[in-house]
Chains A and B, each alone.
Chain A
């Protein structure tokens, strides 16, 4: 058992400050356990968002010693042994209260993405896809919507271009649809024009903080940028479209028989 000191940000949209708390740490505890203990012992009304406490729901995102993390997956023994632990809300989104922020902007971005539209089923009523053709899509679908990637994205965090860029979370959501073997929607124009794929400058900060270890930048955003380039800036395909009026999507559709 050891006593640890915490500095937790308390306040609301009108302002706030760090408040110091002390609590006992026992074996195996994560930061969320410590905050719950502080809540029960000293600060009953401390606002915090959490659900599963197992890294599966993505509710308890916060910045711990300046690092964007899921508090339920951050073990106390992974933090420096000495010194006060600083806990504050994720910075990119407006404060509601204490550690809770208003993430509704993310839900609005999701609505802008055209829904999945599958091709017809095979004659026997089945959809057929090979595992290797869905591996990449499944990687993106591991996303638990913790919005830590949105929190660290420079375009959103520092340049506040929420008007122009949907952020890494929704770039890989768009990518998961674009790479879905059954989907029939041409998503490249929206990815370029509406979702702002050009704004990402590939610093990979989003990939670094992803608790699901999704290759957001390399496997999702870069391929989408490449497809935009192929479509709009590659002279050969441009000419082909002009002459042949090719409209179909560029993606290969593996057919399994």
Chain B
């Protein structure tokens, strides 16, 4: 193997891993601070998972309903998180999202407009007012293209189709990244003062998922290996509406925008079953008759929201339950009907991607018949634990933002809060990294033993004589996670799942990728398995520990939220001194009083607080 001096080495101030919304926004900010910045990404620029986001980005601009403001958004987010989100992050997010959205407009984004010519906003689950700035049902594409087209003129470097393998350290500090060029199969060393993780989640460990191939938890695994802590990792969001047929697209996302635009859920008996699943916490704000829901859809301010727009965890569990009790659709889901709610041309205009997706992949015309949908693994609420203001992890010089970071969403994320998360915390991570770099005189050095060891580990699957097929191993992992760590979790199931994961991991250590190193899909698959092994174990371990049902984490053997014990703690996972995965409880401090008051207020109380000026909006 080559000596470390023979490996192509490039020095930057900041390396950003991941080129989705968060990574691009962070890079733009770092460049604005005058830092020599580079992005490393597994795919071509503009193809990251952000591109698949559909419904919109949440920002309390009040363009459609002037009653909206940051405090209402903050309250919705904390309640949606089942009060497990990080208070400060939810506050920053709600306050800064509108400015971040307007800034996109200055960079060329073309959002749908209101009649007055302003950015239009749509309804979404868990948001009290129409709040999602959107472009039809392709908002993610608009976000990534806007950041991409603006970003390419900001002077940062982009290393495309280049996989980050390991965070390198000097002492305790982040010092660089070992990367692998897909095209050539060669290694590259990037030295940097600061590294920002913006790698997204890890849904590919499950079979039924809305996630793209990149979502293998690389950033979480790399940060974990480097000594950072993972938090709230048991909270994996099952989006209620993924396609259920045909089998090859099972899991592909059906935007919540369908329900935001008036779509309703029915079971095989034709009943709108969501009326049976309204949690007490939301009863006050949810319509209890179809007549009231219909008035809401017509724009009646006094009518309450239909129960189809309850938070994702509630709707996903309801569909799961209907199917389990024998009231599922012909292909094992629920019926999502917008054909009988809205005219065909309206549906085609507001939901063009959905129209084409169903037409082309399932041969279903959604303007004429109902879609069939079911829960699909969609999002990691948990991730790398960061400081709420600087976005720095426990490892000095290592930052995280976007889906791979934890904090904002707690136990459940509201739709639309993801895209705004990317731009708010992408920017803040850039600011945080810039402040950190200022305090460092020189870039840290690299440890050649560490680099050589990482390269040996990476090339092992190629060099082995024989071993299990990485594609088959991936398939096996998806079986384990689907069966034991899905939407329906139990102590016994999770224990068995952890046992299976242990045996499976021993097989991963023996996997063999055939062929040469150049653009070798099998080798890449083998390397991704390492990341998925870390996150799968972490999710299962934390899910077993949390003995309650809260948000996206539901334990059949511990139903209901346990406020006194579990409501006051986050679970944290880190790599122990013995190299084993260690789990600890983090006792949440009391929230700042002014924020707690907003989050726990009734709708009327909050309105009064705003009117009196007690809460500045």
Tell me the A residues contacting B by CB distance below 8 Å: 12, 26-30, 33, 39-40, 44-59, 73, 75, 96-98, 100, 103, 107, 110-111, 115-116, 118, 125-131, 134, 137-138, 141-145, 173, 177, 180, 182-183, 256
Residues of A within 8 A of B513 (CB): 44-45
Q: Nearest B residue to A115 by beta-carbon distance?
A: B153
Contact of A97 among B120, B150, B518 (CB under 8 A): B518
Q: Nearest B residue to A127 by beta-carbon distance?
A: B105
- 14 A-B pairs with CB atoms under 8 Å apart are A27-B246, A27-B247, A30-B249, A39-B521, A44-B470, A45-B522, A45-B523, A55-B360, A56-B353, A73-B361, A111-B153, A116-B107, A129-B117, A131-B120
Residues of B within 8 A of A45 (CB): 513-516, 520-523
Give 7 closest A-B pairs by Cβ, nearest first. Answer: A28-B246, A45-B515, A44-B522, A128-B117, A40-B471, A116-B108, A256-B117
Would you call A118 and B106 a contact (CB within 8 A)?
A: yes
A115 to B107, CA, bound (A): 8
Q: How far is the CB of B241 from chain A (nearest CB, A)?
A: 14
Would you call B152 and A52 a contact (CB within 8 A)?
A: no
A144 to B144, CA, bound (A): 11
A53 to B247, CA, bound (A): 13
**Given A45-B521, A50-B213, A129-B117, A58 contacting B47 (CB threshold 8 A):** yes
**Given A40-B471, A44-B521, A54 contacting B357 (CB threshold 8 A):** yes
Would you call A59 and B44 a contact (CB within 8 A)?
A: yes
Decide yes or no whether B116 CB sits under 8 A from chain A.
Answer: yes
Question: Which one of B51, B107, B135, B252 has the greatest number of beta carbons of chain A within 10 Å?
Answer: B51
Decide yes or no whether B43 CB sits under 8 A from chain A.
Answer: yes
Would you call B113 and A131 a contact (CB within 8 A)?
A: yes
Would you call A115 and B212 a contact (CB within 8 A)?
A: no
Would you call B252 and A54 a contact (CB within 8 A)?
A: yes
Q: Mark B88-124, 1 if CB is under 8 A from A, else 0.
A: 0000000000000010011110101100111010000
Would you call B361 and A141 a contact (CB within 8 A)?
A: no
**Given A59-B44, A97-B518, A131-B112, A53 contacting B249 (CB threshold 8 A):** yes
Decide yes or no whether B466 CB sits under 8 A from chain A.
Answer: no
Contact of A96 among B135, B183, B469 (CB under 8 A): B183
Would you call A30 and B248 a contact (CB within 8 A)?
A: yes
Q: How far is the CB of A185 from chain B (nearest CB, A)?
A: 11
Question: Which one of A29, A107, A118 has the greatest number of beta carbons of chain B within 10 Å?
Answer: A107
Contact of A116 among B150, B214, B357, B519 (CB under 8 A): B150
A218 to B391, CA, bound (A): 47
Decide yes or no whether B362 CB sits under 8 A from chain A.
Answer: yes
Contact of A52 among B45, B153, B212 (CB under 8 A): B212
A96 to B160, CA, bound (A): 14
Residues of B within 8 A of A103 (CB): 44
Would you call B141 and A56 a contact (CB within 8 A)?
A: yes
Question: Which one of B136, B246, B469, B519 has the greatest number of beta carbons of chain A within 10 Å?
Answer: B519
Question: Which one of B102, B149, B362, B472 has the greatest number of beta carbons of chain A within 10 Å?
Answer: B149
**Given A128-B118, A256-B117, A12 contacting B518 (CB threshold 8 A):** yes
Would you call B116 and A128 a contact (CB within 8 A)?
A: yes
Q: How far is the CB of A172 from chain B (nearest CB, A)?
A: 12
Decide yes or no whether B46 CB sits under 8 A from chain A.
Answer: yes
Q: Nearest B residue to A144 by beta-carbon distance?
A: B141
Would you call A142 and B141 a contact (CB within 8 A)?
A: yes
Inter-chain CB contacts under 8 Å: number: 167
Question: Which one of B47, B214, B353, B520 has the greatest number of beta carbons of chain A within 10 Å?
Answer: B47
Residues of A within 8 A of B353 (CB): 55-56
Residues of A within 8 A of B520 (CB): 44-45, 47
Contact of B519 among A97, A129, A183 (CB under 8 A): A97
A256 to B145, CA, bound (A): 26
Decide yes or no whether B138 CB sits under 8 A from chain A.
Answer: yes
Would you call A134 and B361 a contact (CB within 8 A)?
A: no
Taking A12-B518, A54-B253, A125-B102 as given, write out 13 further A-B residue pairs in contact, using a Cβ cutoff of 8 Å, ordered by the A residue number: A28-B245, A28-B361, A30-B361, A40-B471, A44-B525, A45-B513, A51-B49, A57-B52, A73-B360, A118-B105, A127-B102, A138-B136, A144-B51
Main secondary structure of the interface of A (DSSP, over half): loop
**Given A110-B152, A116-B108, A141-B142, A56 contacting B52 (CB threshold 8 A):** yes
A144 to B46, CA, bound (A): 8
Residues of B within 8 A of A52 (CB): 47, 49, 51-52, 212
Would you call B362 and A28 a contact (CB within 8 A)?
A: yes
Residues of A within 8 A of B142 (CB): 141
Q: Nearest B residue to A126 by beta-carbon distance?
A: B118
Q: Nearest B residue to A128 by beta-carbon distance?
A: B117
Would you call B138 and A56 a contact (CB within 8 A)?
A: yes
Would you call A142 and B138 a contact (CB within 8 A)?
A: yes
A53 to B197, CA, bound (A): 25
**Given A47-B521, A115-B153, A26 contacting B247 (CB threshold 8 A):** yes
Residues in B210-265 with C-beta less than 8 Å from chain A: 212-214, 245-249, 252-253
Q: Nearest B residue to A255 by beta-carbon distance?
A: B117
Residues of A within 8 A of B48 (CB): 51
A54 to B153, CA, bound (A): 29
A57 to B353, CA, bound (A): 12
Q: Nearest B residue to A44 by beta-carbon distance?
A: B522
Q: Nearest A residue to B183 by beta-carbon distance?
A: A96
Would you call A51 and B246 a contact (CB within 8 A)?
A: no
Residues of B within 8 A of A44 (CB): 469-471, 513-515, 520-522, 525
**Given A73-B361, A97-B518, A56 contacting B51 (CB threshold 8 A):** yes
Would you call B519 and A47 a contact (CB within 8 A)?
A: yes
Q: Nearest A residue to B214 by beta-carbon distance?
A: A51
Residues of B within 8 A of A12 (CB): 518
Q: How far is the CB of A40 from chain B (nearest CB, A)?
A: 4
Would you call A28 and B521 a contact (CB within 8 A)?
A: no
Would you call B117 and A51 a contact (CB within 8 A)?
A: no
A44 to B470, CA, bound (A): 8
Decide yes or no whether B272 CB sits under 8 A from chain A.
Answer: no
Q: How far is the CB of B22 from chain A (nearest CB, A)?
A: 17
Q: Nearest A residue to B523 by beta-carbon distance?
A: A45
Decide yes or no whether B12 CB sits under 8 A from chain A.
Answer: no
A89 to B378, CA, bound (A): 31
Would you call A111 and B152 a contact (CB within 8 A)?
A: yes
Decide yes or no whether B356 CB sits under 8 A from chain A.
Answer: yes
Q: Nearest A residue to B151 by beta-carbon distance?
A: A115
Q: Nearest A residue to B150 by beta-carbon distance?
A: A115
Residues of B within 8 A of A129 (CB): 110, 113, 117
